[in-house]
Amino acid sequence: MKAPVLLSLAVAVVCGVAVTAQAQAAKSNLVAAGHDFALQVCAPCHVVANDQKSAPMLNPPAPSFSAIAQSNDLSEATLRKFLSTLHRNIGRDGKMPNWLLADFQIDEIVAYLLSLKDGQGSSKF
């Protein structure tokens, strides 16, 4: 009688571990996609990552992604709102572009920026 219960418990634990591993892999993929996308789209103005190949063309550059990630009011909700609304009046002389990002691109950038909250995204420039 105890063997089926233990077997069921073991199966449940293994399934839980597998689901958690899949969720972590999906999150890692989203973070990596956000990193790559930000290097392509945001790096001309921001320091996005340590592996950025060139300095931003703005002098001084817009806030680094690392600095943005350390903002006290940064959350998934604030990032999503910012990335999905027009923000032409932000930055020096109100010149931040109004990117029209698809939902999946917003998901990627949000995942990447939130991954930097622990300080992994220091800049090299």
Is residue 125 a part of any domain in this protein? no
Q: How confident is the model at residue 21 (pLDDT cuts 50, 70, 90)?
A: low
Is residue 40 a part of any domain in this protein? yes
Give yes or no for residue 34 having a pLDDT over 80. Answer: yes
Mean pLDDT of the chain: 79
Is residue 100 a part of any domain in this protein? yes
CB atoms within 10 A of CB 9: 10
pLDDT at position 42 is 92
What's the pTM?
0.72
Is residue 89 a part of any domain in this protein? yes
Q: How confident is the model at residue 60 (pLDDT cuts 50, 70, 90)?
A: confident
pLDDT at position 99 is 75
Average pLDDT over residues 14-41: 74
- Total number of domains constituting the chain: 1
Is residue 30 a part of any domain in this protein? yes
Token readout for 2 is: 């105890």
- Terminal-residue alpha carbon distance, the chain: 65
Is the bond leading into 44 cis (omega within 30 degrees of zero)? no
Is residue 123 a part of any domain in this protein? no
In CATH, what number is assigned to the domain containing residue 97? 1.10.760
Is residue 92 a part of any domain in this protein? yes
68-123 pLDDT, tens digit each: 999 999 999 999 998 888 766 666 666 677 778 999 999 999 999 999 986 554 44
Is residue 38 a part of any domain in this protein? yes
- List the domain range (segments joined by +) for residue 30: 2-118
Share of the chain above pLDDT 70, in %: 64
DSSP the chain: -HHHHHHHHHHHHHHHHHHHHHHHHHHHHHHHHHHHHHHHHTTTTS---TT-SS--SSSSPSPPHHHHHT-TT--HHHHHHHHHS--TT-SGGG--------HHHHHHHHHHHHHGGGS------
